[in-house]
Amino acid sequence: MATVGVLCGRVRVEEKLIAAALTEVGVSPRPVTPAGLPLPPTPMPTPIPPAPAAAGGLAGGLLLDRGQDRAVATALLAAARVCGAIVLDAGIAASGDRLAVASTLATAGVPRPTTHLACTEEAALIALADVGYPATLLPLPFGSAAVALLDADTAEAVVEHRSVLGTGRAALALVQAGIWPTSARVRLVVVDGEAVATLPGAEARPAALHIAESTARALGAAMLGVDIVYTAGGPVVWDVAPVPEFRHATPLGGKTVAEAIAELIQRRLPSPELVPAPPATVEFTHPGTFTIRLGEETRHGVVLSA
Amino acid sequence: MDVGCPECGAEFELSGVEQGEIVTCPECGVELEVLSVDPISLGLAPEEG
Ligand SMILES: [Zn+2]
């Protein structure tokens, strides 16, 4: 039975649903938990033995990103790729931040609210004056809570507070036009280019499905949560979620999110002949002779020197 | 009484807790805050920092 690593700090309801769907199609899921032991940054053997559970997901197999801690996940996914693993993640949303996503979507022509990057308190206030009120301040890391700014007084207090507390990357934020509480957004879950589910109660119009699918395509995301809002100018992408929750999601078609992920994994599983061969070992048996072992094959040789 | 973890869905036995207490889910290890005691309801504990 093929095995797939599922990167997750904790096995939540979503990961249990994915595990059940994978088992149903004959694939064995293995939780890959960032452990206390160091991970190999390269495929070469390292003097420190890697964490067994994590190494299992990195060794030339397939790794599904469900990492809740995005800083840890970003580092681990990069290591997994270097080690030859096929990684299924949210593409630029998995490795980047809200700025990277906003820039990529703008370049791809996917509709978004008017947005500015603010690097300083002054820049934030100028940006807010441009987009008008109400507006939203979005910190760059995914998962960081957005701040609704109803008027200039609130905005000044919030921006000043941030600039006092935050330094470096923590002080950066996107300023987006409008405020959209979660209840006013449509969350769509896209798997392998197709919007497969929406959160209950959310109306998913065809234009929203199209934009969500375009978003996943632009970001190179195997799976992604896309928050759409219906503005006066039409639907736009408000935010994305690299590792969306979907326990309460309603399927748009005949399959659940977990089933769609299991199908995707089935399609992407490396065929046995493509799995990288185990590294060769060289052993010097006697002075001047050596043995190379590559898988089941063994070759003997003699050292020639000038 | 049996309670459900809002993170992983696991059911486990919990008693003698007070409102505001932080408990750990025995299955997924997430920290949970006791939101109410009669009946017991749990929510994700606020993250530190
Ligand atoms: Zn739990």
A142 pLDDT higher than 70: yes
Kindly tell me if the per-residue pLDDT of A143 is higher than 90.
no
**Single-letter code of the amino acid located at A114:** T
Angle subtended by helix axes A206-219 and A98-108, to nearest 10: 110
- The better pLDDT of the pair A110, A158 is held by A110
Indicate if A219 and A160 belong to the same structural domain: no
- Over chain A, what is the mean pLDDT? 84
Residue A152 counted as domain residue: yes
Q: What is the pLDDT of residues A59-111, one digit of tens each?
A: 558 999 999 999 889 988 888 888 788 999 999 999 999 999 999 999 999 99
Is 80 exceeded by the pLDDT of residue A192? Answer: yes
Contacts of A13 in chain B (CB under 8 A): 7-9
The pLDDT of residue A5 is above 60: yes
Indicate whether A164 and A196 sit together in one domain: no
Same domain, yes or no: A83 and A44: yes
pLDDT at A181 over 60: yes
A269 part of a folded domain? no
CA-CA distance, A183 to A137, in Å (whole number)?
Answer: 18
A26 and A78 fall within a common domain: yes
Domain shared by A77 and A35, yes or no: yes
Q: Do A19 and A79 sit in the same domain of this protein?
A: yes
CATH value at residue A136: 3.30.1490.20
Q: What is the mean pLDDT of chain B?
A: 91
Count of domains observed in chain A: 4
Predicted confidence at residue A219, as pLDDT, reads 98
Containing structural domain, residue A297: 278-306
Residues A241, A254: Cα–Cα separation, whole Å? 23
A199: domain CATH number?
3.30.470.20
Confidence of residue A264 (pLDDT cuts 50, 70, 90): very high
The Cα–Cα gap between A129 and B38 comes to: 49
Q: Is the ipTM of this complex over 0.90?
A: no
Do A17 and A83 lie in one domain? The reply is yes
Give B9's contacts in chain A (Cβ within 8 Å). Answer: 12-13, 16, 247
> Minimal Cα–Cα distance from A14 to chain B, Å?
8
Give distance in angstroms: CA of A163 to centre of ligand 1. 36
CB B37 within 8 A of CB B19: yes
A75 falls within a domain: yes
Residue A46 scores a pLDDT above 50: no
Q: Does any domain span residue A217?
A: yes
Q: Which pLDDT tens digit goes with each residue over A268-295?
A: 987 665 444 445 555 655 656 555 555 5
* Nearest chain B CA: its distance from A44 CA (Å): 32
- A253: Cβ contacts below 8 Å, ≥ 6 apart: A196
Q: CA-based angle A42:A46:A50, to the nearest 5?
A: 85
- The two structure tokens encoding residue A69: 């801690």
A223 occurs within a structural domain: yes
- Which DSSP category does A183 fall into? G
**What confidence category does residue A302 fall into, taking pLDDT thresholds of 50, 70 and 90?**
low
Distance B25 CA to ligand 1 centre (A): 5
Set out the domains of chain B in order of their start, with CATH numbers.
2-44 (2.20.28.160)
pLDDT of residue A57: 44
Closest CA to A177 of A155, A153, A145: A155
Is residue A51 within 8 Å of residue A59, measured between CB atoms?
no
Do A18 and A43 share a domain, yes or no? yes
Asked if residue A262 is part of any domain, the answer here is: no
Average pLDDT over residues B12-39: 93
Q: Can you give the pLDDT at residue A80?
A: 84
